[in-house]
Amino acid sequence: MPQTKSLYTQELSDMREKMSTVKNIVVIGAGLMGAGIAQVSIQSGYSVTLVDIKQEYIDKGIKSILKGLGRLEQKGKLGEGVTAQSLVDKIRQTTELADAVKDADIVIEAVIENLKIKQSVFKTCDENAPSHCILATNTSSMSITNITEVTKHPERCVGVHFFNPVPLMSLVEVIKGDKTSEETMNIAKEWVANLPCRVPRYVPFVLKDRPGFIANRMIAPGFVLMNWAFDEAASKGISYEALNADTMKPGSPMGFLELGDYVGHDTYLHINEYYAKTLSPDFTPGLAYKKLVADGKYGRKSGQGFFDWTQGRPKLNADVKAGILSAELLDAIEANEGCRLLEEGVVEHWEVIDNTMKAGFNRPGVMQDAVEHYEKWSQMLEDIAAKIGKEYLKPCEMLSSGKFRDLK
């Protein structure tokens, strides 16, 4: 036992020594996510390079960083003698990717969710970055293994999934590709765990490269039910406000439909189409949802989704319900997905899932409640799967047997 402890201590010491040599962070993509990652990295004292294909995109990202740091400066949180402008002035800007990564220790891309574009970025980085450099992707759901298969050193490639806005959201998922080394996982975690945030960061390991990872995967199958519900409401003249009320529990900040409006239905449509290919055809969006997006009703960003956002957040009645589904049924669906993650080896303990949901969505996870309600919830899932013809909603063996309870 002392020998094992000594070996672990030595490995930890070696990893921290390597982390101490991490100086240069290159962020590719100057959009909201990339700008956020660059901001917290420059705050931490790293040398930061921000890369994009056009200078105008970089300028917009720098403006966003300056605004975020400016708020912290006004609150006196940047430190004595440190200004937002002085930090921004330290960020190197370039449109030349190959040159940008020549001295990089960690590269993270936050470009558009397109496999070919991401692979092109990784190939260029792999060919031009130093041999020790870690290459990370901020993809929210795509396969780390597929993105990085174009590289010669997949062991140094990893998923590092931040949540938006980066300076405020504590959750960062570190995802293992099929060939990612343990050392790469540990260095990536050490880096992000110490980036500033309003609360301590929570950085779970995602141990298998599966669609959606943890947080996004947990909320995904709710759409299997809701796509049926959208069509049901449209065909029977049920108001979306009443359907939204069905999905709310006491104290819920938003119902399912309002949250979709807030995030953007164009985004969710794309994600559901991806899950339909990678998880089950049951994720295929329904007619009502496709029409919503085809009509340009993306939600808050377009001013209209299920609800009208032109005057700000809509005032919705949560008391009048449609009565065609319940928030508890959505909890059961989510718990079932948590059990699937355990079966697939994405995580080893359900407590990680609950902690991830709390950090990522600021609400309690459902696995603790599933310990008490798994038998009732399994029957609810059998019933709804039969009613709407969606096999994916049937309870998995880990849930129906209650075996997950031993994996806290």
Give pLDDT tens digits for 111-152.
Answer: 998 999 999 999 999 999 999 999 999 999 899 999 999 999
Active site amino acids? 140, 161, 173, 216
Interatomic CA distance for residues 230 and 287, integer angstroms: 8
* CA-based end-to-end distance of the chain: 25
Residue 262 sits in the same domain as residue 392: yes
Residue 283 sits in the same domain as residue 349: yes
Nearest to 124 by CA among 154, 143, 100, 106: 100
Q: Number of C-alpha atoms within 13 angstroms, CB side, residue 278? A: 18
Q: Which amino acid is at 222?
A: G
Q: Please give the pLDDT value at position 141.
A: 83
Q: Please give the pLDDT value at position 181.
A: 97
Maximal C-alpha separation, the chain: 69
Residue 375 sits in the same domain as residue 299: yes
Interatomic CA distance for residues 384 and 324, integer angstroms: 11
Backbone φ, ψ for residue 173 (5° rounding): -90, 130
CATH number for the domain that contains residue 351: 1.10.1040.50
Residue 232 sits in the same domain as residue 344: yes
Instruction: Look at residues 153, 182, 209 and tell me which one is the last residue of a structural domain.
Output: 209
Other C-beta atoms lying within 10 Å of the C-beta of residue 281: 11
Residue 135 sits in the same domain as residue 223: no
Residue 22 sits in the same domain as residue 45: yes
Q: Please give the pLDDT value at position 305.
A: 98
Residue 83 sits in the same domain as residue 199: yes
Residue 148 sits in the same domain as residue 170: yes
Interatomic CA distance for residues 171 and 149, integer angstroms: 26
Residue 118 sits in the same domain as residue 225: no
Residues of the chain whose pLDDT is less than 50? 1-8, 10-12, 15
Could you tell me how many residues make up the chain? 408
Q: Please give the pLDDT value at position 5.
A: 47
Residue 173 sits in the same domain as residue 300: no
Q: Please give the pLDDT value at position 21.
A: 82
Tokens 């299997």 appear where?
Answer: 224
How many domains is the chain built from?
A: 2
Residue 228 sits in the same domain as residue 296: yes
For 295, the domain range is 214-408
Instruction: Look at residues 209, 238, 269 and tell me which one is the last residue of a structural domain.
Output: 209
Q: Which amino acid is at 223?
A: F
Interatomic CA distance for residues 341 and 285, integer angstroms: 23
Report whether 181 contacts 320 (CB < 8 A). no
Q: Please give the pLDDT value at position 20.
A: 63
Instruction: List residues bridging with 51 in a β-sheet.
Output: 28, 94
Residue 202 sits in the same domain as residue 222: no
Instruction: Look at residues 148, 183, 209 and tell me which one is the last residue of a structural domain.
Output: 209
CATH number for the domain that contains residue 182: 3.40.50.720
Q: Please give the pLDDT value at position 1.
A: 39
Nearest to 184 by CA among 163, 147, 142, 153: 153
